[in-house]
A = this chain, B = another copy of it.
Amino acid sequence: MPRITREDKARNRQNIVEAAGRMFRSKGVDAVGIAELMKEAGLTHGGFYNHFASKDDLAAEACGASFKASLGSLEQLLEEGADLTGPPLNRVVDSYLSAAHRDASDGGCPSASLVIDAGRHSDTIQSVYAAGVEGYLTGFAEEFAREHEGEITSQEARERAVLLLSRLVGAMVLARAVSHVQPELSDEILRTCRARPLG
Contacts and interface: CB of A to CB of B under 8 A. Distances in A.
A182 interface: yes
Interface string A119-162: 11001001101100110000000000000000000000001001
A178 B130 contact: yes
Interface residues of A, number: 44
Interface string A161-177: 01101111111011011
Contact of A166 (B30, B118, B193): B193
B177 A133 contact: yes
Nearest to A136: B174
A127 B181 contact: yes
Contacts of A173: 115-116, 119, 169-170, 173
Report which residue of A166, A169, A185 has the largest number of chain B beta carbons within 10 angstroms of its beta carbon.
Answer: A166
A14 interface: no
A6 interface: no
Interface residues of A: mostly helix, strand, loop or mixed? helix
A189 interface: yes
A176 B119 contact: yes
A129 B173 CA distance: 12
Question: Would you list the 6 A-B pairs with minimal beta carbon distance, nearest first?
Answer: A170-B170, A166-B170, A130-B178, A166-B171, A169-B170, A118-B177
28 contacts: A27-B120, A111-B174, A115-B173, A115-B177, A118-B177, A118-B178, A119-B177, A119-B178, A119-B180, A126-B177, A129-B177, A130-B178, A130-B181, A133-B174, A133-B177, A134-B185, A159-B195, A162-B189, A163-B192, A166-B167, A166-B174, A166-B193, A167-B167, A168-B170, A169-B170, A169-B173, A170-B170, A173-B173
Given A116-B173, A133-B185, A168-B170, 18 more contacts: A30-B31, A31-B120, A115-B116, A116-B116, A119-B173, A123-B180, A126-B181, A130-B181, A130-B182, A130-B185, A159-B192, A159-B196, A163-B167, A166-B166, A166-B171, A167-B170, A170-B171, A170-B173
